[in-house]
Amino acid sequence: MEGGKGKDGGAPATPPKAHDDVKGELGSPATPNVPITAAAALTTTGPAAPGAPVRQRNIALLQDLDVESKESNIYETKKKTMEDASQIWQRSKKKTEGVRKRWKQLFEEEPNEEPKEEQLKYWKDKLDQASYEEDVALGAYKDARRQCKESDFKPWEEYGDGSQSHTYSDYVSYNMPSKGILFPWKLTKEKMLELKKYYITSEDLEDDVVKSKIWNLLESFADAVKEGNDFSFFIPKRSPDFMDIEPTLAMPMLRRTGKKVKRSFFIKQTRRTTAVTLWVLRTIYDIIEQSAFISPRDLYYRGKWLFKNPAECARIITDICVMLECSTSLLHILPEERGAVLGKAIIRVEEKGIVQEVDCTSGVSIPMDLKKIKNIVLDEKTVCVVVVEKGTMYYYLKANNFAEDQHCLLVTAFGMPDERTRAFVRLLEKKTNVPIFGVTDPDPYGVSIMKTYAKGSVTLCHDNLSLCNITMHWIGICTTEITKLNFQGKTFSFDRCPALKPKERAMLKNLQGSKKYDLSPKWKERISHMMKIGKKACFEDMHSIFGYKYVSTILLPRLIRDVMESIKRYAQTLVL
């Protein structure tokens, strides 16, 4: 092996020493009063000492990048700083991947011969240092992005092709203040291919392609059995540990280099699950072949003798989707009717060449097969789409004519959003030009539900590209707003509200501390306040204090008006 050797082919080359202008936290000589610079932070090749102040390095990197004219527009300067930091992070990431690849080659070049200890130490040190530099660059990029969000930026920016890229205001939940952020449906083929190199993401495939993928797996199994060999499935593990925020899409995606779970007949613990997975694959193949559709519940009852419970059936379906990199609808598996939509809108659905118009004025179920939706026509007075958390809120607003009075479209999934409702909201995001607002109860489950709409879920992380609604605004209802309510001299008190359970506190803490969802400062502020007071509530709690119609006629209209005015105010100061 030559990668770790010196010029004479003997001992490994000694890693270069750290720059002298870097302070001594890197374990190298340093001049005491010389400030850390970005150049030093990114060119140091010696291994970092444990406990090195990464935050200090991040700040130094930002200072090094932020050297442009201070008289220029603050937002433009901060945005340029963020873009530069992003490029440095990407370069550091590529460098780490290259070193990691070389590290693996040490064991592949001469499999029968153990690598020399000096070579292992040299490349291990390089890998540690490259990983450290990547962490520094990533931290600097996140700091730059946060500073950019806090500057005077606009709620959205117009592109030359007429498309819009939403950014942060106080109410915008997630979206990044940069023209580098793309709508998923605007991605080019080249960008999609680039994404698929690094991330597992579902594609819009034809039936023949899906059938071919399934047939190849079944054929490989048959050949393995015939030859007496082992046959294994390798299922990518879905976990926040293997997810990254994709910078140009501002959404979490599943890394292709993450851990995979092996299922094999030769492993006792996975033998039954392997057999069940094969049965499901064969059943799906037959369903696609017949151009039929099936629900997860029907599939469960077809093989009830195989599954432990319906949850196992759903989990195996998702495993197959991740393995084949497609959505459940492409497997001809459609969930039962669940979501609903209400408002002055017409959904045009094509069935066997005939276009039917579905009037949503009185409220209808979301169409079963979203692929058949050709267009969604909103009333010209419609100003927004309001996604509500649960059925009781939906029926409450329906009974009070909220959609008609406030000129909006109501959508709900009756609880935790299913795949079809999320995809429908995404379709509204794509086909209409109105903002999408989210309304939930001020409790941990409401926060989790809104996070699922806007940023996706771990279970379906492979499908976030198709399901995330990155322009969604979470407008309330939040504990921070309830405490400020004062109507006819009456105020809201949390004294009678239930306390947060330990499980709910843990849920909020995980959401707030997770780096995989990149929550906005506004979200974190609301979550912190809920944890601070230690209470949760629901919108019905306000009926006995402010009156039955208060939420539908005063509170929600005010929240919508505030965010609409915020959007207009920023739009008026838009600098193209």
Q: What is the residue-wise DSSP string for 154-175?
A: -SEEE-TTS-EEE---SSB-S-
By DSSP bridging, strand 436-439 and strand 473-476 are parallel
Q: What is the residue-wise DSSP string for 142-153?
A: HHHHHHHHHSS-
Angle between helices 502-513 and 444-455 (to 10 degrees): 30
d(C-alpha 193, C-alpha 467), whole Å? 19
Using the Cα atoms of residue 411, residue 414, residue 418 and residue 420 in order, give the sign of their dihedral.
negative
Q: Is 159 a catalytic residue?
A: no
The amino acid sitting at 60 is: A
Residue 480: count other Cβ atoms within 10 Å of its Cβ. 18
- Report phi then psi at 132, rounded to 5: -65, -45
d(C-alpha 203, C-alpha 209), whole Å? 11
Q: Which residue is listed with tokens 């739009």?
A: 571
CA 505 to chain centre: 22
Whether the Cβ atoms of residue 528 and residue 478 lie closer than 8 Å to each other:
no
Q: Which residue is listed with tokens 């794509």?
A: 430
By DSSP bridging, strand 436-439 and strand 486-487 are unpaired
Residue 163: count other Cβ atoms within 10 Å of its Cβ. 12
The amino acid sitting at 320 is: I
How many CA within 13 A on the CB side of residue 499? 4
Q: With CA atoms as reference, report the closest residue to 532 among 541, 540, 524.
A: 524
Structure tokens at 215: 């047939």
d(C-alpha 352, C-alpha 371), whole Å? 13
Annotated active-site residue in 174, 198, 285, 301: 301
Structure tokens at 80: 């340029």
SS3 254: strand
d(C-alpha 56, C-alpha 283), whole Å? 57
d(C-alpha 488, C-alpha 545), whole Å? 10
Query: What is the set of active-site residues?
Result: 301
